[in-house]
Structure 1
Amino acid sequence: MKNILSIAIVTLIITSCGSDKKNSLESVLSSNNLELMRKKRAEIIEQQQTINDQLTTLDQAISKVDTVKKIPLITTFKTKNQAFNHYFEIQGNVTTKDLLVITPEYNGILTRVYVKEGEKVKKGQTLAKIDDGGLSQQLAQLQIQAELAKTTYERQKRLWDQNIGSEIQFLQAKSNYEAQAKAVNQLEQQIAKTVVKAPFSGTIDDVITEQGNVVAAGQSQLFRLVNLDNMYIETEVPERYIEDVTKGKHVVVEFPVLNKTIETEIRQASDFINPANRTFKVEVAIPNSEKNIKPNLTARLKINDYTSKDAILIPQSVISENAEGEQYVYTVADKNSDNEGIAKKTIITTGKTQGDVIEVLSGIKDNTEVIKEGARSVKDSQTVKVIDYKEDVQ
């Protein structure tokens, strides 16, 4: 606009010189007189300088009264100290200590199965019975012999207490009774192995074998028993987090399949680093009141590894970098009543990021006004106008 105005003024001045000077200029050009030509040129240069001075004066006057100035328009936010929790992500699988495939302790035919799939059982409840191969009859005979040995021992003891009879008779009766009692106890333990019982309370997830099958001790799979109350996630964490990931640290667990998120904490962190992959194990407790979290379910863990109570956070988008690799932002200083201030280039150092924000470790402090939108288009020490101001980084 100023250029158009300048051209118009020059045109008017030249026009105002009048047609009478036009002939004089033409006459000078047609005279071929060098001295006259140089003199005429000097007059025109002098007129041009006068016009330039007048244009400068006009521009200064316009800038004082013009309400629409060419000042960059920006938005800002003000920094404040706030709590900052940093999390790193890792995957893990759900498991439980109460998940067991039950095998028999005795060889034989599975004569009875007392439970079905999906049935809830209590600890110690009988699940199945294996044929004892005649051990019950042997036990009955041993118990009769043990009763006779007990009676003989008690009588010999009464006589011996009255100093009647020989000591050898008393000791023989005692030894015979103790031997019979041990034989009965051992056989009872053997027979007890033919009864399959639940080692803990839970649900029969699978009946693996059928009634009538021959089973082998420690090999044949009978039932899968699971309890969903004591669920946890076991995962491996890189060794660089050994000092930051400890018992009690906050954990956010996401189950993508269930579209569910829960908050929990680390209940155990291993002190052993696996030399093969340089990781250590952690256990994260999983509350499961709804019983919809199952063993081997995939989970995404966000583990808290860093916390600052008074952190300065800014959006990563407002940070620039110079040729020396230094990070900087623009702040606003000396803001007047018209929301106009001076942009200041401020070198900062940064720490950990979380989402779209990053912690500033040095360079700016609490209650600093930082340029957000328009930060890429301003220069250091330039006058800017704030058109939108927020109290925080959001």
Structure 2
Amino acid sequence: MSKPVKSILTVLVILIITGLAFYPRLKEYTSKKEEKGAGAPKGGGPAAQGGAKGGGPAPINIMVIGNQRLEEKILSTGTIIANEEVDIRSEIAGRITSINFKEGDYVKKGTVLVRINDADLQAQLQKLQYQKKLAEVNEERQKKLLEKEAISQRDYDISLTNLNSMNADIQNLEAQIAKTVIRAPFDGTIGLRYVSEGSYLSPGTVAKIATLTNVNPAKIDFSVPAKYAANVAKGTAITFTTESGDEKFYGRVYAIEPKIDPNTRTLTLRATSPNNNRKLFPGSFARIEIILNTKANGILVPTEAVIPGLKGHSVFVVRNNKAEPVEVQIGTRGDKTIEIYKGLNVGDTLITSGILQVKPGGPVDIKEAMVKQ
């Protein structure tokens, strides 16, 4: 190989090695340059030189303020209970001879429900009645002898006391016999039966025969916070719904606990509601509303539109297509709304969303508008 060729090959090898050594740095430099070029906006205006300084109009949603009917409410939960309810039990021991009702029957007050064997008591009563007749004859004879002064007053008093004791024993026995007939104490519906004919009842075993329930009207037990104690009274109207649906029921408070519960700081109330159609079942859960005050004209705004601060509350309104802060005074709070009673007027344009992006005096871009009437 000639000397010139060797020189050329040597130069080429050196160039290749040098290129391989500097290639990574060259690639890194090229990538950075491309990124800087892509980040710069096209054109030669101010935005291209200084970025997005000042930004564009903030996208917002608005609401045009209008008058609304406002109701100050107390929300509570409670339980529906029966108007009257009692467990049917026997006061005396004995065997059941007859059951005169069916489960689920509606019975009137005084209806005979159960009879208990009273044969032994009837026998005792008959014996006392025979003894009473003898005591009456003896008392009459002694009375005549006393009139003739044939006996002393003491002898006559003994015979009279014996007759009166017989009468008392008979009355006591008749009362025991009356207990063998169990009657309905009020109008109501009989529940499930827990005994059968022939069962032996004993007061010591506390055997329940059945339950009698009157559900018309239904009663509702519930509580309100102590701060509302002066706002409720007998006759206060309530509306409520149950867990079985959204149908609204109406009632009135008829009894109030005379003291605040020191553990819960609540006042317990009881209301009644007509239940002719038997839609209200004892034990059901109830969601209760009590309307305290009503305002024909008021201003309600979404909760998220109100900004709390150290000195009070404020909102943003749109004026001349710019956002302006306005101090407001709030009233009653609801689940999703707040009453504004000072600071806003009917016709004002309130910013309801996008508040974090707006600046006092900054331009805005209205995306959605709603009129509140």
Q: TM-score, normalised by structure 2?
A: 0.70
Q: Classify 1:258/1:328 alpha carbon distance in 2 versus 1 (closer, same or farther; 3 Å).
A: closer
Amino acid at match of 2:249: I
Q: Classify 1:325/1:98 alpha carbon distance in 2 versus 1 (closer, same or farther; 3 Å).
A: same
2:107 is the alignment partner of 1:121: yes
Residue matched to 1:190 = 176
Q: Classify 1:364/1:150 alpha carbon distance in 2 versus 1 (closer, same or farther; 3 Å).
A: farther
Tell me if structure 1 keeps the 8 A contact 2:60–2:354: no
Partner Cα separation in structure 2 for residue 301 and residue 310 of structure 1: 23
Q: How does 1:60-99 map to 2 (within 5 A)?
A: 77-80=64-67, 82-90=69-77, 92-99=78-85
Task: Render the CA deviation track for 1:280-338: whole Å, top value 9, x for unaligned.
Answer: 4221223211112222122222344x4254663221257342664642234578xxxxx
Residue matched to 1:226 = 213
Amino acid at match of 1:85: E
Q: How many angstroms does 1:181 deviate by?
A: 0.7
Q: Secondary structure at the match of 1:196?
A: strand
Amino acid at match of 1:215: L
Q: Classify 1:245/1:113 alpha carbon distance in 2 versus 1 (closer, same or farther; 3 Å).
A: same
Q: Secondary structure at the match of 2:165?
A: helix
Partner Cα separation in structure 2 for residue 368 and residue 113 of structure 1: 74
Segment of structure 1 superposing worse, 323-332 or 294-303: 323-332
Q: How many angstroms does 1:216 deviate by?
A: 0.8
Q: Secondary structure at the match of 1:290?
A: coil
Residue matched to 1:142 = 128
2:191 is the alignment partner of 1:205: yes
Tell me if structure 1 keeps the 8 A contact 2:76–2:222: no
Amino acid at match of 1:298: F
Residue matched to 2:330 = 350
Residue matched to 2:90 = 104
Q: Classify 1:258/1:147 alpha carbon distance in 2 versus 1 (closer, same or farther; 3 Å).
A: farther
**Structure 2 residue aligned with 1:214, among 195, 200, 215?**
200
2:254 is the alignment partner of 1:267: yes
Q: Classify 1:285/1:172 alpha carbon distance in 2 versus 1 (closer, same or farther; 3 Å).
A: same
Residue matched to 2:298 = 312
For structure 2, list consecutive stretches of 5 or more residues without a partner in the other structure: 1-43, 46-56
**Structure 1 residue aligned with 2:237, among 250, 258, 268?**
250
Segment of structure 1 superposing worse, 154-163 or 124-133: 154-163
Q: How many angstroms does 1:82 deviate by?
A: 4.4
Q: How many angstroms does 1:275 deviate by?
A: 4.0
2:350 is the alignment partner of 1:371: yes
2:159 is the alignment partner of 1:177: no
Q: TM-score, normalised by structure 1?
A: 0.67
Residue matched to 1:45 = none
Task: Render the CA deviation track for 1:43-82: whole Å, top value 9, x for unaligned.
Answer: xxxxxxxxxxxxxxxxxxxxxxxxxxx9999865344474
Tell me if structure 1 keeps the 8 A contact 2:305–2:352: no
Partner Cα separation in structure 2 for residue 276 and residue 374 of structure 1: 41
**Structure 2 residue aligned with 1:290, among 259, 273, 277?**
277
Tell me if structure 2 keeps the 8 A contact 1:86–1:353: no
Q: How many angstroms does 1:127 deviate by?
A: 0.9
Tell me if structure 1 keeps the 8 A contact 2:315–2:351: no
Tell me if structure 2 keeps the 8 A contact 1:249–1:265: yes
Amino acid at match of 1:371: L
Q: How many angstroms does 1:185 deviate by?
A: 0.4
**Structure 1 residue aligned with 2:222, among 235, 249, 266?**
235
CA RMSD of aligned residues (A): 3.8
| Matched length | 317
Tell me if structure 1 keeps the 8 A contact 2:303–2:338: no
Partner Cα separation in structure 2 for residue 245 and residue 308 of structure 1: 15
Residue matched to 1:20 = none
Residue matched to 1:50 = none
Q: Classify 1:120/1:222 alpha carbon distance in 2 versus 1 (closer, same or farther; 3 Å).
A: same
Q: How many angstroms does 1:273 deviate by?
A: 3.5
**Structure 2 residue aligned with 1:132, among 118, 123, 148?**
118
